[in-house]
Structure 1
Amino acid sequence: MESQMLRYTLDKLDKLDYTKVCNKKVDPKFELGAVLRYFDNEVPILFNNVKGYDMDLIGGLYGSRNIFYDLMDTEKENRIHKIIDAIANPKEVKRVKDGPIKENIIKKNIDIIKLLPIPTSHEKDSSSFITAGMLIVKDPETKDIHMAVRRFQINSKTNISTLISGASPHLRELIKKSEEKNRPIECAVVLGYDAEYLIASQISSSKYGLDKHMVYSALKGEPLEVVKCHSVDIEVPAYCEIVLEGEIVPNKKVVEGPFGELMGYYGEVAPNPVMEIKTIMHRNNPIFQHAFPCREEHLSNGLIREAEVYSSLCNVVDVEDVNITVGGGCRLHAIISINKKNEGDGKSTILSALGSSKDIKHVVIVDKDVDIYSYKDVEFALASRVQAGEDVVIIKNCLGSGLEASHVYKGLSDKMGIDATKPLNETSFERAIIPEYENIDISNYF
């Protein structure tokens, strides 16, 4: 019985009663995305009647924190340590000769437009886009593997644009070298993976220098089973659903975008490299994986960022927890709880958090009695523990995130930190509680 990738995930989600099934015929152009967005991309929905296609589509898989925790057999309280441990102690993969992904191999008459139910999400999107594709690229010289979620604009039956953003310096350098030598780069796009695979993909290659497949094995607690692709020298998960094999073509670019992005705005339009698809592998009755822009990828990225911010703060203050918020695009806003021991701890946390990542724009520091996942509780701290003249820190003209519209407009970002911690040894800030009944099971009463 398989225990990896999408089908295992769907079985587990079904047992946990997370999944909805849509039997109504749904148009992949706009309508399907509207259904996913209605549930804030937090509910996994299996569409088994996509207009024009026989293939099922799953969307909204990894848009909820609780889904990540349940799928990874972890909890809010220990998920950071689980991620840090996997990065520090990667495990070997298991190479197998064959797997379900090789049940069907298409080498002739390839037409991804007819084969795959690829949605168009927003009014001004330049085309339909593969949004959950895991791009795997092998460096022709070092044989090192680069792996990350990318979006792919559909240009023709066999040609897709590959977005290479400024947040991927390692991959950009690889593309630059291939153009200088006029040499294609072998690559594969994987669809139909599990939560651990998505989490592993979000760690920084340039920062950690790790094989992300080995990080997956550590997160999963068992070796990732991989097989070699049919036409390129790249290993992919044996139990994934669909793999597109081919090459990134040197010195050939196509204008990519516009595309409805992370914060609900359209991203920049620019020429980007293209991939020529040579082979398609897929399982019997494959399920197409879709992520409505761009909750799932960025939530997983936010979980990695929480671990990184937490680690950077450990040598500065007694940090309790870090929430890189969904409302801030899982990268722009951080709410951090600390066990305050000195009057300067709040300000020190602000400086360390802002310095840990150029993407973080606003941070709020609270005491450990505040629930950083409850906006009501955080607002309570802001309302009752902050005096702007003393507790707000503003740093002007910093580097910011290319995914944030005002930064793109200005080219720089002002950063802000709010110290919403209470003064030490001041009893007037003690919160009123109901002894023994702060957390009651209300079902016992009705």
Structure 2
Amino acid sequence: MLRSTLSFLRERKLLLECNKEVDYIYEMGAVMSYFNNKQPILFNKIKNNPFSSIGGLYGDREIIYSLLGVTHENRIERFMDALVNPKPYKVVKTGPIKENILKRNIDLPKLLPINKFQERDSSSFITAGVMVVKDPTTGKFFTSIRRLQVNGGNILSALIASPKLTNDFLSLEKQGKPLEVAIVLGYDAPFLMASQYSSATYGIDKFEIDSNLRGSPLELVACETVDLLVPANAEIVLEGKIVPGKRELEGPFGELMGYYGAQAPHPIIEVSCVLHRNNPIYQTAFPCREEHVSNGLIREVELYYHLKNQLDVVDVNVTEGGGYRFNAFVSIRKQREGDGKTAILAALGLNKDLKHVVIVDDDVDIFDLQDIEWAITTRSQASMDYVIVEGALGSSLEPSHDLRGVTDKLGIDATKPLKDKNGKFSRAIIPNYDKIEISRYFPNI
């Protein structure tokens, strides 16, 4: 899993290795942030801890593409195929994850280099952990990235924001029962991407989605103290239970859009066992950055197919600046004058999170902000092409929503008119520009 990923990155000179001692309190996060959390960095020497740590691993969509063997052009089809054609996983007797099994005297702050990232964060947080649960009704395995506040000893606070996961826990809590969980650290790109499909929407076993994405059965082993399966080749696994009737204050915490989330009581996990490989590599992620890239990729799949039912869609970009959640750019092949506004209405109706959408023609690069700005400037007029929806559902992950508890949404139709007899909206073209090989002119470039 992770170790083969690091070998892949090393071979392609995509991995930085830091051999200077670094503090996992603030300093490590500052180094990752210097590279905008898009550079995989292996920290080999960590202050007051014998483990190494990997950060910034999945913060660049191009790296995710490479690790999965997909291209930008076929990504949407490939991710949809994993959903509609899940493949079986494989349960094995044991694996490297069981090289070390700790069941007594568990002290997570002493054992792991768990980062504290930002000034007002309430504690150290596990930010890259993939939580494994079993659906209490179907027995299917679901995975998702959850942030976990370290409360000391073997206790974590769990932010289980998912409505389905929350309802499952509350249902068990009413019966006085705990929810068994396992937290996986040190995984590869297929395991990450599988965790980003909505459990509530699709109900597909995430291990089976993973097996499709990796092209072979995901190998799993049974946990020691809970009735769950975890990857045999992961680096670290924390087994435990979200216990009924207990809450502890969690937060503040530097949230998705760079603001602090409020403090609130959340359920706690009592960790009963720690599994880890020899010389394990602790996986970290700067909060609400790199894990949202993968989530944005799945949101692009959903947006693309939602629009495709009504329009000739070229591509979609759920943007980095919008937290891979709030803003989207869509390119279409316009067939009718109403296509732009139809695309706006459809996009804004997909989910409550999407706040702004820009629709452009297929001659605009939706991954180039300058091109988007150009299209808005030259192909739209506010009185005719801006669609504002007042007082809609929104997300408290962006603070302006909380001013009223609702969100105004905006769509911009930046497509050119179909009736353009004089070619006023045709872009200027340099003949044979695409055939220029700049190295012929400047051999040193």
- Tell me the distance in 2 between the aligned counterparts of 1:242 and 1:439: 50
- Residue 105 (str. 1) matches residue 101 (str. 2): yes
Aligned-partner residue type, residue 106 of structure 2: I
SS at match of 1:196: helix
CA shift in 2, pair 1:380/1:406, >3 Å: same
- Residue 393 (str. 1) matches residue 384 (str. 2): no
- Residue 289 (str. 1) matches residue 287 (str. 2): no
Aligned equivalent of 1:94, options 90, 94, 98? 90
Map of 1:1-16 to 2, 5 A cutoff?
A: 5-16=1-12
Provide the TM-score with structure 1 as the length reference.
0.97
SS at match of 1:18: coil
- Tell me the distance in 1 between the aligned counterparts of 2:276 and 2:384: 59
Corresponding residue for 2:364?
370
Root mean square deviation, CA, Å: 1.0
SS at match of 1:429: coil
Aligned equivalent of 2:249, options 246, 255, 277? 255
Residue 139 of structure 1 contacts residue 185 of structure 1 at CA under 8 Å; is this kept in 2? no
Q: Deviations over 1:240-277 (max 9, x none)?
A: 10000111111101111000011100012211110001
Map of 1:339-358 to 2, 5 A cutoff?
A: 339-358=333-352
Aligned equivalent of 2:126, options 121, 126, 130? 130
Q: Deviations over 1:42-98 (max 9, x none)?
A: 000111111111100000000011111111111111101100111011100011111
- Residue 46 (str. 1) matches residue 42 (str. 2): yes
- Residue 194 (str. 1) matches residue 151 (str. 2): no
- Residue 211 (str. 1) matches residue 195 (str. 2): no
Aligned-partner residue type, residue 252 of structure 2: P
Deviates more, 1:271-280 or 1:143-152: 143-152
Corresponding residue for 2:316?
322
- Residue 411 (str. 1) matches residue 405 (str. 2): yes
- Tell me the distance in 1 between the aligned counterparts of 2:202 and 2:285: 26
- Residue 143 (str. 1) matches residue 145 (str. 2): no
Unaligned 5+ runs, structure 2: none
Aligned equivalent of 2:373, options 366, 371, 379? 379
Deviates more, 1:141-150 or 1:413-422: 141-150
- Tell me the distance in 1 between the aligned counterparts of 2:391 and 2:186: 41
Residue 146 of structure 1 contacts residue 171 of structure 1 at CA under 8 Å; is this kept in 2? no
Aligned-partner residue type, residue 383 of structure 2: G
Shift of 1:320: 0.4
Aligned equivalent of 1:119, options 115, 119, 125? 115
Identity of aligned residues (%): 56
Residue 200 of structure 1 contacts residue 212 of structure 1 at CA under 8 Å; is this kept in 2? yes
- Residue 267 (str. 1) matches residue 256 (str. 2): no
Aligned residue-pair number = 440
Q: Deviations over 1:325-364 (max 9, x none)?
A: 0000000000000011111100000000000111000000
Shift of 1:140: 4.2
- Tell me the distance in 2 between the aligned counterparts of 1:109 and 1:365: 57
- Residue 161 (str. 1) matches residue 162 (str. 2): no
Corresponding residue for 1:228?
222
Residue 142 of structure 2 contacts residue 195 of structure 2 at CA under 8 Å; is this kept in 1? no
Aligned-partner residue type, residue 348 of structure 2: L
- Residue 82 (str. 1) matches residue 78 (str. 2): yes
CA shift in 2, pair 1:391/1:141, >3 Å: closer
- Tell me the distance in 2 between the aligned counterparts of 1:320 and 1:140: 40
SS at match of 1:337: strand
Shift of 1:281: 0.4
- Residue 17 (str. 1) matches residue 13 (str. 2): yes
Shift of 1:141: 4.8
Aligned-partner residue type, residue 237 of structure 1: P
Q: Deviations over 1:9-35 (max 9, x none)?
A: 111111121111111111111111110
Provide the TM-score with structure 2 as the length reference.
0.97
Unaligned 5+ runs, structure 1: none
Shift of 1:104: 0.7
Q: Deviations over 1:381-423 (max 9, x none)?
A: 0111111110000000000112111112321000000000001
- Tell me the distance in 1 between the aligned counterparts of 2:440 and 2:157: 56
- Tell me the distance in 2 between the aligned counterparts of 1:141 and 1:156: 33
Shift of 1:444: 2.8
- Tell me the distance in 2 between the aligned counterparts of 1:299 and 1:444: 37
